[in-house]
Amino acid sequence: MRLFLVIALVALAGCKSKPVDEPLPKQPDAATAGDSLRKVGTELDARAGKVAAAVSVARDNADKPEVVRAETGVALSNLPAPSPDDLLVAKARAAKADQKDYAVAEAAGKKAVAALDAALAKAKADQAEAKRVSDLKDARIKQLEEELDRVKKDKDAQWWTMAGVAVAVAGAFAAALVSPKVGATLILSAGAIGAFPHVVDLPWFKWIAGGFLATLAGLGIWVAYDAARDQVHESDPKPQTSSDDEQAPPQI
């Protein structure tokens, strides 16, 4: 009886849950696809390279107006249409033809290109970080799902163990009050009930279950046969002596 109580207490104690990892970092507001920004950056670099090549050729052929016009046309085809305000500023600068204005515009252009490169680099870094955090979240979700599944299995195992303990206690009482055979059958069943959640996922569970059912069938047949045999013995009439034989005096 004490053994069964110990088993019940151990089953109810259960196990502590696996500690959750540290909080996840904030995911940057960026796409998580690995090559989305890379494709955009490659396309921008290709168009910028074509523009730079056409302008360089036009500049080298400044003495050939037809080449300048053709190459600048190629450059413009790879650029968006200018806004009216930008077009007015450029026309005013050309009309004034002041080298200082050109130097200021050139410096502003280099600064804008540097800022654009920095922004693109930051966007790529944010994308890489977003992808990393997204993978961490996916891993955490998988971990939590596995944890919930383990907790559910532990709960089920506790119920099976408690049921096995109850059947074992009933078997102990049956062995003491009814019949040792009935008690042994119940105790054996209790062991199988308590072990069920631990063996149900094993590859050889079918063989275990088959052997247990065969054992139970054998026990059932044995108990039924023994009960029938006892009933037959109890129903057999005892040999009786006649009254004349009992009253007849012994002969000398």
Over the stretch 105-151, which tens digit does the pLDDT of each residue have? 889 989 988 998 888 888 888 888 888 888 888 888 888 888 888 88
The pair phi, psi for residue 203, each rounded to 5°, is -65, -25
Question: Within this chain, do residues 9 and 67 fall inside the same structural domain, yes or no?
Answer: no
66 band by pLDDT with thresholds 50, 70 and 90: very high
Question: Within this chain, do residues 71 and 9 fall inside the same structural domain, yes or no?
Answer: no
Question: Within this chain, do residues 75 and 6 fall inside the same structural domain, yes or no?
Answer: no
If phi over 0 gives left and psi between -120 and 50 gives alpha, with beta otherwise, what is residue 14? left
Would residue 59 count as lying in a domain?
yes
Question: Within this chain, do residues 6 and 57 fall inside the same structural domain, yes or no?
Answer: no
155 band by pLDDT with thresholds 50, 70 and 90: confident
* Identity at 49, one-letter amino acid code: G
pLDDT at 194 over 90: no
Would residue 61 count as lying in a domain?
yes
Answer yes or no: are the C-beta atoms of 169 and 4 closer than 8 Å: yes
Question: Within this chain, do residues 9 and 73 fall inside the same structural domain, yes or no?
Answer: no
The pair phi, psi for residue 98, each rounded to 5°, is -95, 125
Answer yes or no: are the C-beta atoms of 155 and 17 closer than 8 Å: no
Q: How many residues does the chain have?
A: 252
Question: Within this chain, do residues 75 and 9 fall inside the same structural domain, yes or no?
Answer: no
Q: Which two tokens stand for residue 194?
A: 């308590």
Which of 174, 219, 173 has its CA nearest to residue 192?
219
Q: Which residue has the higher pLDDT, 174 or 6?
A: 174
Which of 38, 31, 14 has its CA nearest to residue 154?
14
Question: Within this chain, do residues 44 and 8 fall inside the same structural domain, yes or no?
Answer: no
Our count of domains for the chain comes to 2
* Most confident of the following: 83-87, 214-218, 232-236: 83-87
Taking only the tens place, the pLDDT of each residue in 198-209 is 666 667 667 767
Would residue 105 count as lying in a domain?
no
pLDDT at 34 over 50: yes
pLDDT at 190 over 70: yes
Residue that finishes a domain, picked among 81, 100, 115: 81
Percent of the chain at pLDDT exceeding 90: 11
What residue numbers bound the domain in which 189 lies?
2-13+151-235
Answer yes or no: are the C-beta atoms of 126 and 30 closer than 8 Å: yes
Residues 6+ apart with CB under 8 A from 179: none
pLDDT at 4 over 60: no
